[in-house]
Amino acid sequence: MKLSDAKIKNAQPRDKEYSIYDEDGLHILIKPIGSKLWRFRYTSNGKRRIMGLGPYPLLSLAEARQKRDEARKLVLQNLDPIEERHTAATKQAAALAAATENSFESVARRWLDVRKATEVHKIRSLRRLELYAFPTMGARPIQDITTLEIVTCLETVEQRGIVETAHRVKHIVQQVFRYAVRRGHIVHNPAADLRDVLSFAQTQNYSCIPPSELKELLTAIDAYDGDNMVQLSIKLMALTFVRTNELMGARWDEFDWDRNEWRIPADRMKMKRPHVVPLARQTIAVLDDLKRLTGGREFVFYKHANFDKHMSNGAILTALRRMGYSGRMTGHGFRSLASTILNEQRKYHPDVIEKQLAHTDQNQVRAAYNRADYLMERKVMMQDWADFLDSVRTEEKVVPLRFGTK
């Protein structure tokens, strides 16, 4: 007699396990503890064997019969269902291991191991991969990754406003795929032609040196032999990375010395919202030097020809040209440098960095309900940034940038 769901449900456990049979070798084993397990009894190469199919009711009566029928077909082909299942599982495990071994992340890490580069460059490349490529492509088998996936990954980085970093990530990804071709992991290179997928890293007006040249720039600023007020303005720009017009229009009454904050009013901000710049110890030291020069006047940086007007926005650009950075660095470049380095540290929440850069949140609802202005987090970050600049300048062990809130 065939089994029915009612008969199976009504089957009660006994002191010893027992079976209730369906037909064609299918039966259900009732355990003393109450569990009910499907079994298929068959003969292979003259030997009686029992194959487990799964528990009831997770596996219904209809599903158990289907599995039994699939196993019977194998028996009719002189194949052992248990051995075939074991072989299939082994192949699946091998395929999974191969996919993991040849995932984009695994291949990228092997490329880093054999790459002829300094340890610093390897660490920097790995950090960029971990930040921008592994989250979207890392687990993917490298042979399955398409050009569209790569472009989407790069555009995501670009949309964060760190265009130079997006170009660097593109260069790294291209090298990984070229390595994969040489090693035989892939035949077609989906990263071979990525021209024009990103905007230019910097326009001529926003030229910026790479982070690797930061020490030379800081040294050149310290050695600048031009106007002291201009030199101090560049130092303040490096420490605060505000916009050039926001710096040059600074007034002494905007500084809150009790809170160590520079409060820039909305009418002087590009986004027409008031902005707070936390003052690190090094920033206050620069401002103290400036006080001795201009402390009795309205503007922190004034024109020598007219004390009632602030210094020209082009003063920093002119000084950088005198230092040998014509076409390579601008006042805006300090913002790009800070954004790139802080984002790559992976220790600062992007919202905190964006807030300090006074960028507009594209999601207006998010902007309205974002928690305050991250002021405490930004105070920590700005002091860390000033310490970092000092360590780069003096060639001491670089102070790691730290941050506690994600």
Same domain, 132 and 168: yes
Domain assignment present for 403: no
Pick the range with the lowest mean pLDDT from 94-98, 149-153, 248-252, 275-279: 94-98
- Judged against a pLDDT cut of 90, whether residue 1 lies above it is answered with no
Residue 243 has pLDDT above 80, yes or no: yes
| Alpha carbons 105 and 110: distance in angstroms, whole number | 9
Give the separation between CA 403 and CA 406, rounded to whole angstroms: 8
Q: How confident is the model at residue 396 (pLDDT cuts 50, 70, 90)?
A: low
Q: Residue 187 burial by CB count (10 A; 0-12/13-18/19+): exposed, middle or buried?
A: exposed
Q: Give 222-231's long-range contacts (Cβ < 8 A, gap of 24+).
A: 222/393, 224/319, 224/322, 224/323, 226/319, 226/322, 227/315, 227/319, 228/289, 228/293, 229/290, 229/293, 229/294, 229/301, 229/311, 230/311, 230/315, 230/316, 230/318, 230/319, 231/319
Backbone torsions φ then ψ of 212, nearest 5 degrees = -65, -15
In a domain, 345, yes or no: yes
Q: What is the pLDDT of residues 286-342, one digit of tens each?
A: 999 999 999 889 999 998 888 888 998 889 999 999 999 988 999 999 999 999 899
Residue 406 maps to a domain: no
Q: Are residues 309 and 224 in the same domain?
A: yes
Q: Is 35 in the same domain as 175?
A: no
Residue 365 pLDDT exceeds 50: no
Is the C-alpha dihedral spanning 289, 295, 299, 304 positive or negative?
negative
Predicted TM-score of the model (pTM) = 0.53
Residues 381, 267 share a domain? yes
Question: Does 182 lie in the same domain as 163?
Answer: yes
pLDDT at 390: 95
Output the six-digit token pair for 139.
């687990």
pLDDT at 203: 45
327 inside domain? yes
| CA dist., res. 343 & res. 131, Å (int) | 9
Is 79 a domain residue?
A: yes
CATH of residue 162's domain is 1.10.150.130
pLDDT score at 392 = 93
Q: Where residue 71 sits, what CATH number does that domain have?
A: 3.30.160.390
Q: Are residues 20 and 131 in the same domain?
A: no
User: Where is the domain boundary, 94, 113, 129?
Assistant: 94
Task: Tell me, yes or no, whether 214 and 356 share the same domain.
Answer: yes
**Domain boundary residue among 71, 94, 117?**
94
What amino acid positions are annotated as catalytic residues?
Answer: 243, 270, 332, 335, 359, 369
For the chain, helix (H) and strand (E) counts, in that order, are 17, 7
Give yes or no: residues 163 and 296 share one domain.
Answer: no
Task: Report the CATH number that the domain containing residue 301 is assigned in CATH.
Answer: 1.10.443.10
pLDDT at 373 over 80: no
| pLDDT for the residue numbered 405 | 40
- Cβ neighbours, 10 Å, residue 266: 10
Which positions ≥6 away from 265 have C-beta within 8 Å?
254, 274
Alpha carbon 139 to its chain centroid, in Å, reads 14
Residue range 4-55, pLDDT digits in tens: 989 999 999 999 999 999 999 999 999 999 999 999 999 988 889 999 999 9
The verdict on residue 399 lying in a domain is: no
Top pLDDT among 168 and 373 is at 168
405 found inside a domain: no
Q: How confident is the model at residue 89 (pLDDT cuts 50, 70, 90)?
A: confident
**Does 195 share its domain with 257?**
no
Domain of 131 in residue numbering reads as: 104-201
What pLDDT sits at residue 150?
93
Q: Are strands 275-278 and 255-256 parallel, antiparallel or unpaired?
A: unpaired
Cα angle vertex 217, ends 391, 166, to 5°?
90
Neighbours of 40 (CB within 10 A): 25
12: Cβ–Cβ under 8 A, 6 or more apart, which residues?
Answer: 30
Q: Parallel, antiparallel, or unpaired: how do β-strands 255-256 and 18-21 relate?
A: unpaired
